[in-house]
Amino acid sequence: MIGAMELQLDDGPRSSLSIGPGFGRYSGISSKFARRFTEGIGKLAGNTPGDHRKKTRRLTARIAKAVGLAGVKSCLACWSLSVVIIES
């Protein structure tokens, strides 16, 4: 056959970039660096759900403390404030 194509193994995105399967080992980028880099990018973005939950908990604790200092004895007031904050 003239012009017969030889089938090649598809290695996903790497094959389209002409990057061999062992590229990561020889590129000089350690897995530890890559992990720290991605964590740093996540912190810079600041839009992770965990960050919002931590901020909400701290704010709820501050409001509960402020309500206590103001002399409000009702625990229902603290609870309703925390529900409003969490839902927003």
Each of the 88 residues of the chain gets a pLDDT tens digit; together they read 565 666 555 555 555 555 555 555 555 667 777 778 777 777 776 665 666 667 777 777 777 677 666 665 555 555 555 555 555 4
Nearest to 57 by CA among 88, 19, 26, 86: 86
Q: Is the pTM of this model over 0.85?
A: no
Query: Cβ neighbours of residue 8 under 8 Å, at least 6 residues apart?
Result: 15
